Amino acid sequence: MSLRIGVVGYGTGGKNFHAPFIDAAKGCTLAGIVARAPATVASAQADWPGAPIFPSLSAMIDAGVCDAVTVTTPPQTRRALVLEAIAAGLHVIADKPFAPTAEAALELDAAARAKGVTLGVYQNRRFDADIQTLARILREDALGALWRVHSRMDFDDPATLEPGPSGGLLRDLGSHLVDQMIWLLGPVVAVDAQMDFIDLPEGRTDAGFTITLRHEGGPHSHINASKLNFLNMRELRAYGDAGSFVSQGTDIQAQEIFAGKRPAQDPAGWGYEPESAWGTLRTGAGAMRVPSEQGRYHDYYEAFARAVLHGTEPPVTAAQGARTLAVLDAARESAAAGRSISLE
């Protein structure tokens, strides 16, 4: 059985981070695309000549071409589309930010459960090469008792900063970075954040952040990101009582996609950081370069298809998405109040 998945929205996300990975995922078929603007329709037709294009989610539902949809439209439109798909009995993957607040995320979760459909959150960056490499190092206990992880993601990319109070960098890159740390280190019990703001015609917009997360069991993580400071840097640092690991990745999957490559063209060779970008593990035995794990965003879709087939949890549940949003909500409160916020 192949899960027929429609992509709702064909902007940067739908074009680059959904359709190519649905196409590459075993057990999944790209069943259709919702696009409205003439230029967007033309782009979708050129990229996927065999996929039908629909002017709306309602039209796609009426055509009966899909079992599930990925909703990757602008955040302010997403809730209504997710609820429309759920009401139609479709399984749903909602792009990040999953919902405006943690409370709103739980509302979507309840709607999906009442209808008996699977609802997942597209946190594809759990499947980044550098995060997968660090996860392997932690599984192997190479650092001993883990103390802390630092995660930095700076892009010189002002054009993609979503303006206005409903946009901003915290809900964009913050959704990924917080989810990665929860996935690696476990639930968050306290949040301390500082945020940078600029005034745009659409309203005050957060354009950078630094957040400290305290996790259950003791480890803490420190994450920061920017898009307006003329920097391109992706760095992970992990410290434990037996050593450290440092990597400076190239965001290889995004680079390959933007270079016109697709994962289905080279499944075995896709998503490995070049040797020049391998991280370094330092312990009492000395320093060692660590080969990259494979980055595979299509693993998300394969896991989602298995969840639908077997009735199990998707790779990132709505409840997990709500927990990430609770941390983001606490980060905003912390920055405004100038103090740590407890989540216990």
Q: Are 212 and 339 in contact (CB under 8 A)?
A: no
pLDDT at 102: 87
Give me the residue label for tokens 């597209």. 122
pLDDT at 131: 98
Q: 145 phi and psi, to 5 degrees?
A: -70, 120
Q: Count Cβ neighbours within 10 Å for each residue of 64-81 and write b for 16 or more, e otherwise.
A: eebbbbbbbbebeebbeb
For residues 242-268, give the mean pLDDT: 96
Topology, domain 3-122+300-313: Rossmann fold (3.40.50)
**Mean pLDDT across the chain, nearest whole number?**
96
Amino acid letter for position 321: G
Superfamily, domain 125-295: Dihydrodipicolinate Reductase; domain 2 (3.30.360.10)
In the structure, what pLDDT confidence band is assigned to residue 76 with cuts at 50, 70 and 90?
confident
Query: Has residue 98 got a pLDDT over 90?
Result: no
Query: Has residue 77 got a pLDDT over 90?
Result: no
Query: Has residue 97 got a pLDDT over 90?
Result: no
* Range of weakest confidence among 45-59, 91-105, 264-278: 91-105
Domains of the chain, residue spans: 3-122+300-313, 125-295
The CA distance from 250 to 202, in Å, is 32
Quote the tokens at residue 283. 């312990």
Per residue in 103-132, pLDDT (tens digit) is 889 999 999 999 999 999 999 999 999 999
Q: Which run of H or of E encompasses 120?
A: strand 119-122
pLDDT at 255: 96
Q: 118 phi and psi, to 5 degrees?
A: -90, 130
Per residue in 182-238, pLDDT (tens digit) is 999 999 999 999 999 999 999 999 999 999 999 998 999 999 999 999 999 999 999
For residues 266-283, give the mean pLDDT: 97
Q: Are 92 and 85 in contact (CB under 8 A)?
A: yes
pTM: 0.95
pLDDT at 155: 95
The CA distance from 155 to 256, in Å, is 16
| CB neighbours of residue 32 within 10 Å | 23
The CA distance from 139 to 15, in Å, is 34
Residue-wise DSSP of 71-137: E-S-HHHHHHHHHHHHHTT-EEEEESS-SSSHHHHHHHHHHHHHHT--EEEE-GGGG-HHHHHHHHH
For residues 157-172, give the mean pLDDT: 92
Query: Has residue 99 got a pLDDT over 80?
Result: yes
Per residue in 10-32, pLDDT (tens digit) is 999 999 999 999 999 999 999 99
